[in-house]
Structures are given as structure tokens and as C-alpha cells.
Structure 1
Amino acid sequence: MSSTPTKVILDCDPGHDDAVAIILAAGNPKIELLGITTIGGNQTLPKVTRNALTVLTVINQLEIPVYAGCSRPLVREVEVAPDIHGDTGMEIHGYQLPEPAVDVVPNMHAVDYIIETVMNNEPGTIVLVPTGPLTNIAMAVRKEPRIAERVKEVVLMGGGYHVGNWSATAEFNIMVDPEAAHIVFNEKWPLTMVGLDLTHQALATKDVENQLRELNLNIADFMVGLFGFFRQAYKDAQGFDDPPVHDPCTLAYLIDPSVVSTQKVPLNVELHGELTLGMTVADFRAPAPADCHTQVAVKLDREKFWNLVIDAVKELS
């Protein structure tokens, strides 16, 4: 494995699991978190942007720039997930969130930041990690198509090849802006879909909470508070006993590919089905074509995954 850190732009909509993704990205030496871009998703753009700034304040990583992005899908109405993430987008139990000590970078839209960063770095060095709706990424590649051949990889949290959560067949990030997802999936950059089939293996169990609580560290207490709200919300909304922590699985894959097993398959997004709008369709008819540029995450090494998260908490503390 290369000793050079992977340069990452994290495009997110914090969100409880996005907060953990920020912690893992900022706290692992194999990731160089160049910047955070925000996208309306789990809650409205102002709320998720504030949440990103709050997380950076909690973990004392104020030098990481934050750029606000698109406030709505390409063609559809705004749809958020208060039943999972609460009215603020990052409701928490038993922990007092600080006021953000940093603000967004003024006068630059997230889409322009993505384009500028990719174009100003060597080809094949920037990884885009979207963990929310794909509107910013789609807008960036439409505005500047040359980024598609310069991006090293897109590793996204979204979709599912056997399961949905916002409908019977579609996952939230894809379904709320399926047109953007269709654009991103059909560009020829290498793309890894870390979908629900994988992330439902990343459960924040009571054992995980206890490991964090025993650290007696501020960031660990923050995460325990997040999981407290998240657990009850997932129990009420979807019947989970323990909440799946989706978004940091993308970073775990980049840090150590042995944590997340993948399979190369053609992928596409359904735009027209009455019952299947937003479905991510994976063609498992083997073998994948020689020119296949997409793959799906299939199996998580849960112990390695949580060790990475806990190590990041220790590193940041």
C-alpha cells in the first residue's frame, strides 16, 4: 500500500454518519482531507453546512475548508430525512454541541471548488467521496467535463444492489436526486458504490458505544451522543436495533481496501420506473465487461472498520 496519503474531497450532508466520516477522514494519516463540500440532503443546505462546521469545531480541525454547495436537486423538489437525523440534521443525546468556531469559505461555491481542485492537481490524484445526494458532483462534471478524466476515483455512499431504504428499491441519496446520480454513474471515471448492502454491516452496537465511552475523550463522547439519537431514530423509522453508520465505510475502503471487499459490475440508475425510481441496478451476470468502470462494495470486515474509527478518535484527541 502507498505511503502517500490519498487526497480526498468529502462531499457530504451531515448527518450523524457523515460526522463519523469527517472524523475518520481527518483522523487517519492515510487520508489528506483537502476540503469539505456540503450538499442539501439529510437536512437543508444551511443546516448540514452548520453541522459540518460544528464537527470540525468538536475535533479541532479548523484549518479544513468548507464550501457550501447546491441547495436542491437538479430537477426535483427538496426532500430531507428528519425522521432519521432530526430537525437540525444532527440531533444528539447527552452532549452539548459547541457553536461553530469557523465559517464556510466565502465567495466560492462547492462545485467551483471541486473543479478548481481537480484541475489544479496532477491527474489521478484526487478522490471524490460523496456521502450525500450527488448534485454537486453531477454539476461539477457537467460544468467542467475534463474533471472526469483527471479524478482518480469516485467512492460514494449511496444505492444498494439488493435493498432500498427510501423506497422498496431505492436508497435516499440516489432517490432524492436520481438525475444527478445517473450523470455520476455514467461518467467514465472509476466509481465504487458503497451501498446499503455493505453499510448495513457497519452497525454501531452497544459494544462499540462502550469502547468509545471507555476512551473518556471528548470526541468519543460526541460520537456516543450521536449514536444515542441515531439508534432511537433508526429503531422508530426502520426497525433497526443498532443504527448502520453508512458514510465512513467509504473512507475505510480508501484507507485499507481489505476492510471492504468489492466486486466489479456494471451499474446504472433507474429514472423512469413507477416503482423503481432511483434504483441502482447492478448487473452481476459474470464476467463484467473489460471496459467496466464501476464496482460495488459487498462485504465489510466489521472489526477492522471500527478499529479504524476508534484509532481516528484517538489520533484527533
Structure 2
Amino acid sequence: WAAPEAAAIVFREFPMTTMVGLDVTHRVLMGATDRDRMRAAGGPAATLAANLLDFAVARADAIAGRDGAPIHDATAVMSVVAPELFTSVKRPVEVELSGAITRGMTVVDDRPGGRAGEGPAPANACVLLDADEQAVIDGIVDAILALDDSR
């Protein structure tokens, strides 16, 4: 959304880009239990992450009334580290560049026949549809705790 032209280039030039959309990352919410687990570990990385999570959860609650904060980037990284925790499909994806309201949105074409008169477009992306939310959160927390264990 900040640079839709750049996103369009990525989908066009890099076949089978993995798309981890907000519909998936907004379901992977870290909260008080995760913060407490990190804080109890007591290491510098875990303490920093717990403090950052405090801030993120407070913001998520203030903005969206959520009882947890989506951890977008770490969820995307987990899709590479542990792809078995995610459900995905291969689909054609385009980035809307001209819409007054939809500019920057990704459009995933699920139509079996594709666009009318054009037939199905070739898949150019691996689109994540779902995640094992708790397993993803556990993987993120375990990775943070491992930073302190490796010192």
C-alpha cells in the first residue's frame, strides 16, 4: 500500500512469491501469556521482546479493541522457517494500481475459468490462507528465547 508499483513488480518478476496477507497475520495474535513466558525467561532478548509486546498489545487494543497484537513480520518469517504450519494455494495475484479506493490491494483470482474470455491466468504466487496460530506463536517465542540461550 505504500508502494503498490513495487509490489506489482515483485509479483510480476518473481514467480511463486509467497504472499502472507493481513487476513492471515491478523489471526496470529500474541498477548499477555506470550509476554509472561518471555518475561519469565529473564534474558535480555526475551525482556526486550516482552516490553515491545506490551506496547504492541496496548496499541492493538486502543486501535482495534484486540486482546493481542498481530506480529506481521515474524509470522511471514515463520512461513519460510516452518511452512508446514500454514495452508496455501497457488493462484494468480495482481496488485491494483488504478483504483481510487482499492489502490495497492492484492487481487487473488480464484475463478476456475479466469477472466471472461481470457481463460485462467497462470499462478504467480503462493497465497497463504491459514495458519496454526498457536504453533506459529510458539515458534516465534521459542526463537526469541533461543537468542538468550545462545549467549
Q: 1:294 to 1:287 in 2, by over 3 A?
A: farther
Q: Is structure 2 residue 35 aligned with structure 1 residue 204?
A: no
What is aligned with 2:133? 302
Q: How many residues align?
A: 143
* Structure 1 Cα separation of the partners of residues 14 and 133 of structure 2: 31
* Structure 2 Cα separation of the partners of residues 286 and 188 of structure 1: 23
Q: 1:197 to 1:287 in 2, by over 3 A?
A: farther
In 2, are the aligned partners of 1:252 and 1:260 still within 8 Å (CA)?
no
Runs of 4+ in 1 over 3 A off after TM superposition: 286-291
* Structure 2 Cα separation of the partners of residues 257 and 237 of structure 1: 30
Deviations 1:27-46 (A, max 9, x none): xxxxxxxxxxxxxxxxxxxx
* Structure 2 Cα separation of the partners of residues 215 and 306 of structure 1: 16
- What's the TM-score once normalised by structure 1's chain length? 0.42
* Structure 2 Cα separation of the partners of residues 266 and 218 of structure 1: 43
Q: Percent identity?
A: 33
What is aligned with 2:117? none
- What are the ranges of 5 or more consecutive residues in structure 2 without an aligned counterpart? 115-119
What is aligned with 1:51? none
Secondary structure of the structure 1 residue equivalent to 2:110:
coil
Deviations 1:90-125 (A, max 9, x none): xxxxxxxxxxxxxxxxxxxxxxxxxxxxxxxxxxxx
* Structure 1 Cα separation of the partners of residues 54 and 113 of structure 2: 43
In 1, are the aligned partners of 2:89 and 2:126 still within 8 Å (CA)?
yes
In 1, are the aligned partners of 2:34 and 2:141 still within 8 Å (CA)?
no
- What are the ranges of 5 or more consecutive residues in structure 1 without an aligned counterpart? 1-174
Task: Map residues 1-317 of structure 1 onto 2, 5 A cutoff.
Answer: 175-286=1-112, 291-317=122-148
Deviations 1:170-205 (A, max 9, x none): xxxxx1111111111111422110011110111012
Higher relative contact order (CA 8 A, sep 6+): 2
* Structure 1 Cα separation of the partners of residues 60 and 11 of structure 2: 28
* Structure 1 Cα separation of the partners of residues 23 and 48 of structure 2: 27
* Structure 1 Cα separation of the partners of residues 121 and 59 of structure 2: 43
* Structure 2 Cα separation of the partners of residues 253 and 223 of structure 1: 20
